[in-house]
Homo-oligomer: A and B are copies of this chain.
């Protein structure tokens, strides 16, 4: 591979001059600049990333730590991050923790979890990335970032109480409130809820939004609520217990998978979603439009969360002084389909 030195020789100038030109320093004559740039072009010279990184302690690369790439939310977020990096000439190095694959859905209770995260951060410190984005698999309070970390870090899809760390989430409360309001506007007064697991942050926030909507509309909470395990089967079971003769005319499921379980139950009973009872979901996963009738649900702005995270980290890197830590919430969108 061709080096700076060779370019310098070809042009009969010093390597300092070539370096200055390549880095856009202004103190160079037009003439030499032109000549050098020409040679650079025709030789296809590319700076050695390692050498530059070693000397300049700036690598234009960002480390992305991912709880689990296969989680449905991960791809959209990463796609957003990368599209922003693309425009700003940053590279992404991925560290996929593979937590769901390794330890199932309860991984964050696992002892090894915090170690893995710290190891990943360590690794990135060694690679000298300019910043780190932590893409979580679900909302929670992350508290295992090393206190004295000297690399900017932002958390995506979760949050933290540790100082100096920004986060980007979507707005569960607003979304659940909007969906509930929509149900109410459609004439429903007794709205059952099939929530996620108890104490889960998404569950709690969505419940808050649900109750807020009821309150705003002067409707009493019918207390038809069942916690479930986020999957199809648990949605089915919850529906069975909850819906029998509750008198509810609508069910708000806290994700699409559980909504599919509700469909299963209704099907069994010969009931039709959207006709006999309104069903709403959350996530807008691909499968939600393959349900029959198609599922009304909440779209999570994954791409935008990614873009925003990327924006925050680059801001913090480029203007560390006037950067303010920020905990932002991106709004969700309701996808109206046939089930409501």
Contacts and interface: CB of A to CB of B under 8 A. Distances in A.
A101 B79 contact: yes
Nearest to A86: B98
A184 B59 CA distance: 59
A96 B70 contact: no
B126 A47 contact: yes
Contacts of A292: 267, 292
B59 A50 contact: yes
A244 interface: no
Interface string A100-117: 010000000000000000
Contact of A127 (B44, B49, B78): B49
Contacts of A92: 93-94, 96
B70 A98 contact: no
A93 B96 contact: no
A46 B123 CA distance: 8
B83 A78 contact: no
Interface residues of A, number: 44
A61 B124 CA distance: 12
A300 interface: no
A182 interface: no
A231 to B, nearest CB: 12
A260 B287 CA distance: 11
Contact of A125 (B46, B54, B122): B46
A128 B50 contact: yes
A100 to B, nearest CB: 10
A91 B127 contact: yes
A94 B96 contact: no
15 contacts: A46-B126, A48-B54, A48-B126, A50-B54, A61-B93, A69-B79, A70-B79, A74-B75, A86-B96, A91-B93, A91-B127, A93-B93, A93-B94, A287-B287, A290-B290
